[in-house]
Amino acid sequence: MSDILSSEAKAFLSQPLQLFINGGWQASKNGGNTDVINPSNGQTVAKVASGDEADVNVAVEVADLAFQEWSKRTPESRAAMLNKLANALEDKIDVLAQLEALDVGKAYVNAKGFDIPFGIDCVRYYADLATQAEYEKPLHLQDIDARVHRVPYGVCGFIFPWNFPFDLLMWNVMPALAAGNTVVIKPAELTPLTTLYFCKIAEEVGIPAGVINVVVGAGRKVGTPLVQHPKIRRISFTGSSGVGKQIAAMCGERPIPCKLELGGKGAAVVFEDADLDKAATQLAGAITLNTGQVCCTATRWLIHESIYDQFVEKVTATLKATKIGPGLDPDTQMGPLVSQAQQDTVLQYLDKGLSEGAEAILNGGALSISGSEGGFYVSPYLLGGSADNICFREEIFGPAAYLVKFKTETEALELVNSLDYGLANSVFSEDLTRCQRVAEKMIAGNSWINAHNVFAYGLPYGGINKSGVGGGVNCPETFYDYLRDLTIARPLG
């Protein structure tokens, strides 16, 4: 384990990590544990209890009891508690960043500079919104005295993937808590560390027992019973489109509301008048940030034929200069993939893309890093050719992109909109009128101009089609998603 780890992070990892239920730590009822692997060297860094339906049942019951008190607090009281939590998390940014880098393999500098502080901002954002929200909405109707009375749902369930454990936890759970719901969370089995450390902080600041509960475990053993539990009132699922469909079907049976944030295959359109240095930096960054394991990132690069060679020269130079290494090394710009399985998937796509006739623009592949030999490293690769290639159509989730040349705006838009995914796309041009026009015609939840991966609180983020449904995150609407409307009406006269 790297020396950069603080004594606090080491102490946290040295104990058996358990499930967090009813404000305390519990072994799983079946006694099971799983190893948490450091993707940077393939070594085990911690053992974590691995639960099943029996633990889910207890967690939902205590969350239901806790709801009685938490939901009755004033919004100001909940906001004060969440602001206290934000302050305590801020004191531990470095520990959280170390644990995130260790767990996911992501570059520590990014975790410390972006993921963790940005996630903490989310706590404050929803704490503020809770104090400003409209819980009673008068309706001005003829002959009826009426209002909408907004109340929290009850126990909400959350299922998360492994790529941004801390930010996704904050983006999804904070609006629910601020609105007065209680939560049962299933983190990805590969990356539970910052979620559990967050519980330790929540316990220390005195978030009441049962308001936040975490059950670690496999999808079918923990995720499915969580979705199917009769006392779960809402589900938020972030993960692959395939599993998302199954979750939606389960929610549909009861039915309960379901927020799905799913996979993507984002496009970037680079026009002939684009600032090519900026476009190359942004797009190289898009596939190296978190080693390309970013749902909304740009992996289909549509480049105007007149600047294709120039762009390729710039972007390959940037990618070749990217420093690849262990997540915890402060000099690392791109870490390993999260697991052996993910490394295999990314390398298989390279083989399949080439066998379907793609041109290798930048040769990448498995990489061994001296001193970190067991890590799951892959250097970036760029393929190019026709748009019927598997690497243009399917989500790879690694440091890879597929380039296609285009001649006209219409042709570029057809290529962007040729897949069922609809998460995020971008357009690069110095002609802002053209950018706005193209941005409006790209079919997705998010269109970005002269940048890719643009996030802020107040900027709604979500997908459509195979990329999600249910309102997205990071905006006031997300807060209202966690309040149900009750219409109260009295005829006059």
Give me the active site residues, please.
261, 295
Cβ of residue 463: shortest distance to ligand NAD, in angstroms? 5
- Separation CA 10–CA 1 (nearest Å): 9
- Nearest CB to ligand NAD, comparing residues 311 and 397: 397
Q: 459 φ, ψ to 5°?
A: -105, 100
- Angle at the Cα of 436 from the Cα atoms of 432 and 438, rounded to 5 degrees: 110
- Nearest CB to ligand NAD, comparing residues 241 and 372: 241
Cβ of residue 198: shortest distance to ligand NAD, in angstroms? 16
- Separation CA 26–CA 56 (nearest Å): 12
Cβ of residue 159: shortest distance to ligand NAD, in angstroms? 5
Cβ of residue 220: shortest distance to ligand NAD, in angstroms? 5
**What is the amino acid identity at position 431?**
D
CB contact at 8 A, 262 and 240: yes
Q: Dihedral of the CA atoms 217, 222, 226, 229 (nearest 10)?
A: -140
- Nearest CB to ligand NAD, comparing residues 88 and 101: 101
Residue-wise DSSP of 443-455: -SSEEEES-SS--
Matching residue, tokens 């079946």: 30
State the burial class of residue 209 (Cβ atoms within 10 Å of its Cβ: 0-12, 13-18, 19+): middle
- Separation CA 327–CA 131 (nearest Å): 38
Matching residue, tokens 């960054």: 285
- Nearest CB to ligand NAD, comparing residues 92 and 229: 229
- Nearest CB to ligand NAD, comparing residues 150 and 186: 186
List of residues contacting ligand NAD (CB under 6 A): 159-163, 186, 188-189, 218-220, 223-224, 238-240, 243, 246, 261-264, 295, 395, 397, 423, 463, 468
Cβ of residue 484: shortest distance to ligand NAD, in angstroms? 23
- Separation CA 55–CA 339 (nearest Å): 26
